[in-house]
Chains A and B, each alone.
Chain A
Amino acid sequence: MEISIKKDQWINLAIVATALWFIWFASGHFDEYTIRILNNIAIFIILAVSYNLINGVTGQFSLEPNGFVAVGAYVTALLLVTPEAKMYQYAIVDPYPFVLTLHANFVTALLLAGFFSALLAFTLAAPVFRVRGDYLAIVTLGFGFIIKILAINNPEVTNGSLGMNDIPEFSNLYWTGGIAIIAVISVLNIVNSKFGRAMKAVRDDEDAATAMGVNTFKAKTLAFCTSAFFEGVGGGLLAALLTSISPDLFDFFFTFQLLIIIVLGGLGSTTGAIIGTVLVIGGSEWMRFLDEPMNIFGHETTAMPGMRMVVFSLLLILIMLFAREGIMGKRELRDLFKFGKKGGK
């Protein structure tokens, strides 16, 4: 037992070191387009592994990401955009005076984005989880809509449907990639602890979990609030990457995209969520060539915009039909390597 723990630690260290080296290498050597895609992938990794925590690991079907990402993005934008920029940007009505005073540095903004989202999650979770968690999906779906409507209907705070622009561009691969590494490690550490075991027990058999002394309400709330925290931080990173946000960005399709990612990767698998993100975000960019005129067996086709979404959806359907557990199922990447070590049955 002792020896294998040490070896695991070395492998982990090596993986993190490689990831850090990759971030440094990419920042210096890749072109901007590739870097932008990598930034997108990093942010969506943060969102996917945390969404996977409540949906996959704890087995509570939730539709929350667009809401918490929006909260995180707006909190960050409000704290980072300068008062001058706010003054000339707010086109519909003038901003409230307190809005102009809001200011923080990037790290504080991200942390506040995360904590505010987690706080909202807590107020949502308490009533929902006290009853059966089946209502979670509806409540979170509604929550997403409410946040969007709040953003639109309070132009004195958020500049309404015009959104907020001129957000300082703090996000780069060091931030997005670094925080992605932190998020992944945090989630993995949570999963491999008594808290993660409790979450999985709730997923597998909630009554049996209770019978073993697990406080299932606490487990579900913990998972939900942790998800919300990282989704808020991810939203902040997104705001500082796009440098402009608007309510229409945080629609149901945003959540749906994340749902596809974690289902594709394998509900419950953190490494699966990472793989799913790379395939979906990277893949849909790579498939852009399907939108352009192509040369198929010597036949010139005209441009067919939207073709890549058609192909993408077809692939998804195929995977759902033939590999319903997703790519990793509930396993993590390292479990595949442990196969040889286990004794025979």
Chain B
Amino acid sequence: MILKIDNVTKNFGGVTAIKETSFSVQPKEIFGLIGPNGAGKTTMFNIITGNYEPTKGQVLFRNESLTGLKPHQIVRKGIARTFQNIRLFSSMSVLDNVLIGFDFQARYSFFESIVRFPRFISEEKRIKNRSMEILDYFGMSKFAHEKATDLSYGQQRKVEIARALATNPELLLLDEPAAGMNPSETEELGQIIKKARNDFDLTVLLIEHDMKFVNQLCDKVLVLDYGKTIFEGTPSDAIQDKEVITAYLGDFHND
């Protein structure tokens, strides 16, 4: 088990966003977090990434507690994420966006960057080549020098995933990656995620509303409702579970 949510509760003032939730994610699983809006899915993400501290309980990553670690430190432990509304760096090129993911792995100092010592040059070259490789993998290398936000929505999503992969994660958190996509783009995205999981040795945890997408992609799902787990199992079982149907009445996109 690579990720364990251990009896996590999260309160915001008087509101309980997550209540005593526990689940585990196995290595190389594609695990879906689903549930109606406001169920606490993004909050769960933010707890894993360290943006929020759990009120009670803890998150264990590779058996190590993440409590008290800052977000950027958690990234360096091997957890990366994308955002629901695609947050690429608007002033920078596609290549520079991906480079940012590599930056904490570049081994040169401030002084070396000013005087451009050989180590700077070789490290920059190394991470630039690695970035181009990742972009190539997603078929985005021809856009390397374009401004990232000039690309189409689907292309930007791929760049964002590439950027997350640049941080060399073991666990990838995808927040509604298919949001705003048409059926063929969604299909393509699902294939890419599966392939990347295999090629990059990833475990994937994703939040989604699109049940067809979840069905196609996820090995396991967890259904949340008002911060509580109401189902854990395979996607095909989930859509037949009575409680899930009640909670979700009409909320599934079954197109």
> Which residues of A approach B to under 8 Å, CB–CB?
186, 189-190, 193-195, 197-198, 200-201, 203-205, 207-216, 222, 268, 330, 342-343, 345
Contacts and interface: CB of A to CB of B under 8 A. Distances in A.
Nearest to A226: B110
Contacts of A215: 72, 104
Nearest to A222: B110
B92 interface: yes
A342 B145 contact: yes
Contact of B91 (A200, A207, A211, A222): A200
Interface of B: 49, 51, 71-72, 75-76, 80-81, 83, 87-92, 96, 99-101, 103-104, 106, 108, 110, 113-116, 120, 124, 142, 145-146, 150, 163-164, 166-167
Contacts of A195: 110, 113
A57 to B, nearest CB: 10
B146 A203 contact: no
Given A190-B113, A201-B100, A211-B83, A216 B92 contact: no
A190 B111 CA distance: 9
Contact of A213 (B89, B103, B110): B103
A50 B106 CA distance: 24
20 contacts: A190-B110, A190-B113, A193-B120, A195-B110, A195-B113, A197-B96, A197-B103, A198-B100, A200-B96, A205-B87, A205-B90, A209-B100, A210-B71, A210-B75, A212-B100, A212-B164, A213-B80, A213-B167, A214-B100, A215-B104
A189 B113 contact: yes
Given A211-B49, A342-B145, A194 B113 contact: yes
Contacts of A222: 110
A328 to B, nearest CB: 13
Contacts of A201: 89, 92, 100
B150 A345 contact: yes
Contact of B104 (A204, A208, A213): A213
Given A186-B114, A213-B76, 5 more contacts: A201-B92, A204-B90, A211-B71, A215-B104, A330-B91
B72 A208 contact: no
A268 B145 CA distance: 19
A163 B162 CA distance: 58
Of A194, A201, A211, A342, most buried by chain B (CB within 10 Å of CB) is A211
A195 B104 CA distance: 10
A343 to B, nearest CB: 7
A269 to B, nearest CB: 11
Nearest to B150: A345
A128 to B, nearest CB: 18
B83 A208 contact: yes
Nearest to B115: A189
6 tightest A-B CB contacts, nearest first? A213-B75, A193-B113, A194-B103, A208-B87, A204-B89, A213-B104
A193 B124 contact: yes
Nearest to B166: A212
Contacts of B89: 200-201, 204-205, 208-209
Nearest to A205: B87
A211 B80 contact: yes
Contact of A204 (B72, B83, B92, B124): B92
A212 B163 contact: yes
Nearest to B132: A1
Contacts of B166: 212
